Each structure stands twice: as structure tokens, then as C-alpha cells.
Amino acid sequence: MFRFGESVVGYEVLVFNEREVRAAAGITFLFAFIAFMNAFLVGEMGPTKLMVAAFLVDFFIRIFINPKYAPSMIIGRWVVNNQVPEYVGAPQKKWAWGFGLILSAVVFYLVVLNDIRGPVLIISCGLCMLLLFFEAVFGICVGCKVYNFFHKESAQYCPGGVCDLNREKEHTQKISFWQTATLLLFIGGIFLAITLGPKAIESLGLEAQERDCTVPEFALNHAETWKLHNGCL
């Protein structure tokens, strides 16, 4: 029961299913983001405190008991159990999740035990969500990269084969000149639209269409919010 990783035939070290790990990171990120935005926009800290406590318990189970009993990992396994597993080494994951445990403990101390709010809390929560986002969306395990920096020879079975420094990229992975040019043109177009768009409309004499800002009956209890969402403030 108390083991970090799964024993799979053909692999020299204990491993995890990367699809399951990324699913768990995505699930955790989703709830963390909802709680964070609720606190940031509404000022209600109840959901955030609950999420932080759950986050700490989840990582405690991963590190000190067995990751396969962590709630997020159980849900992640259930979601992707019809997909072919992609195994990655467990040792580097322990470093990554160790960082997660430390960050969650810090946030738990700040927001749950002391009800501290402000830049320190925002930075801590933001860093947690950033690490979860990179893991879930890009398959980039920042903590694993730290492990690989100190254990270059012992790191095995990294996601996407990134441990193999001598691996040559496939032609489908390379970015061409025209792809780069397209991306730069797109970014430049967005930048021009943001900076010159209002001035262009003003120079053409185009005025914003008048809106009917009469608050409907169903929105009378939250009139200011309705006006904000309908461009009436």
C-alpha cells in the first residue's frame, strides 16, 4: 500500500501513467482556478480555504501514502482509463509533487490558519496554478526538470522522451520560417488592433451604437452587475 509508483513489466523503475497524472493536474487546476477567481473577483474566501485544504490533503496522500489513493489521481484514472497508458518514471515525480506539497502547506498556513490576504497569497496560489497548468496542458513537469538537473543519468522514462538529450526532433516537430512569420504577423495584428483600433474608429467618426440600458425586471437585484456586463457603465 505504501509505495510511490506502479510496477510495470518491462520498466526498470516504478512508473506512473502520464495520462492519469495530467488528468489529475487538469482537474486540480480547474477547481483551484474557480476558487481563486471567486476570491479575487468577489472577495469570498470560503471556497478558496476549502480548496487549499483539499489540495494539501491530496498531495499529502501522494507523497506519504500512495499516489493511487489521492482523490485527484483516482478521478484522473477513471477519466482516462480507456486510453493506452504512457508510462513515465516515478522518482522525478516525487520531487515535483514535493514542491506541490510545500506550496500547498504555505498557502494553507497563510489563508486557512491566519486568513492572510494580499500579494504573498496571490503569488503562492498563482505559482501553484501555473505549475498545474504546465503539467496538464503541455505535459511539462517543472519539478521533474529540477530533478533531471541534479540526476541527469538516473532520470528515466520522461514525458515525450525529454530525458534523451541526444534525441533528434522529427520533421513534424520543427517550426519553419513561414510558421514563425505567420505567428509574428498574427501577434503584430493583435497589437495594432489594440493600440490603433480605438483611434481608427474615432478618426472615421464612428460612434458606439446607443444601448438600451434599462435594467430588466429579472436583474433588478443586481443592476450594477447587469450594466457592467451589457456595457452600460
Q: Quick: pLDDT tens for 30-71.
A: 998 888 888 777 777 788 888 889 989 999 999 999 888 999
Say what the pLDDT of residue 204 is: 56
Is 7 a member of any domain?
no
DSSP 66: -
Burial of 2: CB neighbours in 10 Å, binned 0-12, 13-18, 19+: exposed
Domain span including residue 86: 15-167
Question: Per-residue pLDDT for 199 more than 70?
Answer: no
65-87 tens-digit pLDDT: 988 899 999 999 999 989 988 88
Distance of CA 78 to the CA centre of its chain: 20
Q: Are 135 and 222 members of one domain?
A: no
What's the rounded mean pLDDT across residues 147-171? 67
The answer to whether position 1 is within a domain reads no
Which of 140, 160, 155 lies closest to 22 in space, CA to CA? 140
- Distance from C-alpha of 69 to C-alpha of 10, rounded to nearest angstrom: 24
pLDDT at 2: 78
Give 55: exposed, middle or buried? Use CB within 10 Å, 0-12, 13-18, 19+: buried
* Number of structural domains found in the chain: 2
Residue 122 lies in a domain: yes
Which band of pLDDT confidence, cut at 50, 70 and 90, is reported for residue 166?
Answer: low
- Same domain? For 137 and 154 the reply is yes
Claim: this prediction has a pTM higher than 0.85? no
- Crossing angle for the helix pair 90-107 and 142-150, to the nearest 10 degrees: 120
**In this predicted model, what pLDDT tens digit does every residue of 211-231 receive, in sequence order?**
677 888 887 777 888 777 777
Last residue of a domain, one of 142, 167, 192: 167
Is the pLDDT higher at 199 or at 39?
A: 39
Q: Is the pLDDT of residue 156 over 80?
A: no
How high is the mean pLDDT of the chain? 81
What pLDDT is stored for residue 167 in this prediction? 64
pLDDT > 60? residue 108: yes
What was the pLDDT predicted at 98? 87
Q: How far apart are the first and last CA of the chain?
A: 59
pLDDT band at 171 (very low <50, low <70, confident <90, very high): confident
Whether residues 67 and 154 share a domain: the answer is yes
pLDDT tier for residue 165 given thresholds of 50, 70 and 90: low
**For 70-84, 88-102, 145-159, 213-227, which range has the lowest pLDDT when averaged over its residues?**
145-159
Report if residue 206 sits inside a domain.
yes
Residues 187 and 207 in one domain: yes
DSSP letters, 83-141, are SPP-EEEHHHHHHHHHHHHHHHHHHIIIIIIS---SHHHHHHHHHHHHHHHIIIII---
